[in-house]
Chains A and B, each alone.
Chain A
Amino acid sequence: MAFSILVCIKAVPDLASGGTLAIAGPWIDETVIGWCMNHYDAYALEAALAIKDAATDITVDALSAGPDRVQNTIRRALAMGADTGIHLAMNAVGRLAPATAALSIARFAKTKRYDLILTGAMSEDEMHGITGPMIAAALDLPCAAAAVEISLDVAGRSLTATCEMEGGMAEIVRLPCPALLTVQTGQRIPRYPSLSNTIRSRRQAIERAVPDETANHTPTVDTLRVSFPQQTTSCQFFEGTRIEKADRLLRLFNDNGWLK
């Protein structure tokens, strides 16, 4: 029985490879940074690919909404093993508000009748954690957040998800498909692209869809500014050579009676 999965991925500023943030206008300077796949979305894609690996007749589509730069992230998803890459071409300069992204993705997904939609639990850059649930709300799908384990019953068209809670607790929920899950990091480390998939991803066309951006009903939330956190003056930075710093730290530890 065929089963289709959509994974929503976001291109975010790549800070892991040494990029640093600079501020320009009300947001960051997007011209001086590289872009990569949101870490949480990579876990969502890995969860989808693991489901695909374990059964037959499962397709995984990877979708990203935004300007042309998101295509590199879509290629990465293809290289990891997604069957189809979809670019929701949205010309919004700068950022897409969660509700805007959710509405466009939902309108697209509705035409494809996916059995399961996966998103990351949040994005590394804006950290809202609401786009996934808003897609589910727009499509009236059952939804669970922060899944760390997914067990799919393809024949029964349902899934059981273990969702992380605070303090080491986890809630287990059952959802009928179609459903949407947001995926938390931790369960399976996202795979590296295989050579054959990387070669395929370079040749494969990315499906392009242009969403109707006109009828967005949600009230706007404007970013006024971003700033670096104020440095509190109470932190004392140890100066000197490495040995001097080590000795000062040991003196502090010793004076407090913590050392053996």
Chain B
Amino acid sequence: MIQNKCLGTVLIVGETVDGRLSAGSRDLGNQASRLAGQFNGQAVGVLTGHDIEQVARSWSKTAGMPVIVLDHAQCRYPNPPLTASGVGALADECSPLAVCFPHNMRACQAAATMAWRIKAPCITAVDAILKESDYFVLKRAVFGGKLRESVSVGHVPMVLTIMPGLFSPSVSLEVPDHSPSVETRLLADTNHRFIPQGINRRKDTDQALERAQVVVSAGRGLKGPEYKGLLDAAAGMFKNAAVGGSRGACDLGWLPHSLQIGETGRTVSPALYLACGISGATQHLAGMRESRTVVAVNTDPKAAICNLSHYAVIDDLTVFLPVLRERYDRMRNKGDEV
């Protein structure tokens, strides 16, 4: 199924976690045909896991592409070295134009490992692809989203990790008269040096953040844990609010890690997201992108968060939030509207 010489192949690499398709892989599958189209190629899915044929069939159907399952008992949990060797062997076989992984840290590992082995260029966190006459221009965020970088690659295959939502989901207008094929290959038992032991799932004590109508969230602009009370005071103005934070604020110990919003933390989609002192790194945006209204309080009008915000106040949150709360109290005491 991967011998279509006319079009060339774009490998779309997904993964399963304990028998379930990962969220990033689902998203990448939805983008598969447009991604392949950008390379003027045809998407072929590759899915790693163990005993996952049903998952592969369903992924293949929704993404509208044939899927090759790379099966190994040690792929029940993500296994970048086995993924790299399995996908690397497929790349040798079908000479793809590009190999696309979803963007996360272990996919970066698999991509880097296989790119090294097949001597291909590796570009991660790609969020736009343009075709020029004889090369491709790939765009990505650098410096935590403060700048955008455009790189050119003229070499195929190229190995990429793709940011979620690069293209809106592909909508297939034609109803295929047959389901795309799914083929399973057993990976050779070669890797004994990366031994997955299991998965820890964070036990969130409550779902307050996910259920909140308003999320008041802080980043490094909070300056220190002594200002956390300002967030609670701001949250106290709303009917149903919870406090969260960016990775920066949580790593510094200003807020507990359980409140971290972003790619590796929690995902929220409140009616109002009040982003205080948050620069807007792509990893953070991944956890709050679906918020209906975003208001930024930030000293830097060029901060990436302002691009996603509907409203912004350019100010230091440690000065502005107390004023906001004071004006709120005054309004309530007077009993009149502002």
**Interface residue ranges, A against B (CB under 8 Å):** 13, 15, 21, 23, 28, 98-99, 102, 121-122, 124-134, 136-138, 142-146, 160, 162-176, 179, 182, 184-186, 189, 217-232, 234-238, 242-243, 245-247, 249-254, 256-260
- Of the A-B pairs whose beta carbons lie under 8 Å apart in the complex, a sample of 15, sorted by A's number, is A132-B109, A133-B109, A144-B109, A165-B199, A166-B24, A171-B78, A217-B119, A222-B152, A226-B142, A230-B307, A238-B313, A242-B319, A250-B331, A258-B214, A260-B236
B5 at the interface (CB under 8 A from A): no
Q: From residue B163, how far is it (CB to closest CB) to chain A in Å? A: 11
CA distance A7 to B143 in the complex (A): 22
CA distance A150 to B145 in the complex (A): 29
CA distance A259 to B328 in the complex (A): 9
Classify the secondary structure of B's interface with A: mixed
Flag if A143 contacts B142 (CB, 8 Å): no
Asked whether A133 and B195 contact (CB < 8 A) given A142-B81, A235-B309, the answer is no
Flag if A133 contacts B155 (CB, 8 Å): no
Residues of A within 8 A of B120 (CB): 219
Partner of B271, one of A185, A218, A249, A256: A256
Asked whether A143 and B302 contact (CB < 8 A) given A21-B147, A98-B122, A258-B239, the answer is no
B121 at the interface (CB under 8 A from A): yes
Partner of A253, one of B145, B272, B310: B272
Residues of B within 8 A of A225 (CB): 149-150
Flag if A166 contacts B104 (CB, 8 Å): yes
Q: Within B97-145, which residues are at the interface with A (CB < 8 Å)?
A: 104-106, 108-109, 111-113, 115-117, 119-125, 137, 140-145
Kindly report which residue of chain B lies nearest to residue A238, judged by CB atoms: B313
Partner of B144, one of A121, A124, A131, A137: A124
Flag if A171 contacts B149 (CB, 8 Å): no
Flag if A227 contacts B23 (CB, 8 Å): no
CA distance A103 to B40 in the complex (A): 33
Flag if B324 contacts A235 (CB, 8 Å): no
Q: From residue B242, how far is it (CB to closest CB) to chain A in Å? A: 13
Q: From residue A34, how far is it (CB to closest CB) to chain B in Å? A: 14
Flag if A185 contacts B194 (CB, 8 Å): no
B178 at the interface (CB under 8 A from A): no
B176 at the interface (CB under 8 A from A): no
CA distance A223 to B108 in the complex (A): 19
Residues of A within 8 A of B204 (CB): 168
Q: From residue B133, how far is it (CB to closest CB) to chain A in Å? A: 14
Flag if A224 contacts B151 (CB, 8 Å): yes
Stretch of B41-49, B65-73, B221-229, B244-252 at the chain-chain interface: B244-252
Flag if A224 contacts B148 (CB, 8 Å): no
Please encode chain B, from 235 to 264, with 1 for each CB lying within 8 Å of some chain A CB and 0 for all others: 011110000000100111100010000011
Q: From residue B57, how far is it (CB to closest CB) to chain A in Å? A: 24
Flag if A99 contacts B199 (CB, 8 Å): no
Partner of B272, one of A126, A237, A256, A260: A256
Residues of A within 8 A of B137 (CB): 224
Q: Within B153-206, which residues are at the interface with A (CB < 8 Å)?
A: 153, 155, 193-202, 204
Flag if A21 contacts B143 (CB, 8 Å): yes
Kindly report which residue of chain A lies nearest to residue B252, judged by CB atoms: A189
Flag if B239 contacts A260 (CB, 8 Å): yes
B213 at the interface (CB under 8 A from A): yes
A-B contact count (CB 8 A): 282
B233 at the interface (CB under 8 A from A): no
Flag if A246 contacts B196 (CB, 8 Å): no
Asked whether A249 and B108 contact (CB < 8 A) given A167-B23, A169-B199, A176-B193, the answer is no
CA distance A191 to B105 in the complex (A): 25
Flag if A238 contacts B148 (CB, 8 Å): no
Kindly report which residue of chain A lies nearest to residue B119, judged by CB atoms: A217
CA distance A21 to B142 in the complex (A): 11
Partner of B121, one of A23, A162, A221, A232: A221
Flag if A171 contacts B238 (CB, 8 Å): no
CA distance A253 to B22 in the complex (A): 36
Flag if A166 contacts B311 (CB, 8 Å): no
Kindly report which residue of chain B lies nearest to residue A257, judged by CB atoms: B239
Partner of B106, one of A126, A163, A243: A163
B19 at the interface (CB under 8 A from A): no
CA distance A172 to B200 in the complex (A): 7
Flag if A228 contacts B307 (CB, 8 Å): no
CA distance A227 to B302 in the complex (A): 12
CA distance A105 to B231 in the complex (A): 45
Flag if A246 contacts B143 (CB, 8 Å): no
B51 at the interface (CB under 8 A from A): no
Residues of B within 8 A of A138 (CB): 116
Q: Within B63-89, which residues are at the interface with A (CB < 8 Å)?
A: 77-78, 80-81
Flag if A185 contacts B272 (CB, 8 Å): no
Flag if B315 contacts A245 (CB, 8 Å): yes
Kindly report which residue of chain A lies nearest to residue B326, judged by CB atoms: A246
CA distance A128 to B214 in the complex (A): 34
Asked whether A237 and B147 contact (CB < 8 A) given A143-B109, A168-B202, A231-B307, the answer is no
B314 at the interface (CB under 8 A from A): yes
Asked whether A127 and B125 contact (CB < 8 A) given A258-B272, A260-B237, the answer is yes
Residues of A within 8 A of B306 (CB): 231, 235, 237
B1 at the interface (CB under 8 A from A): no
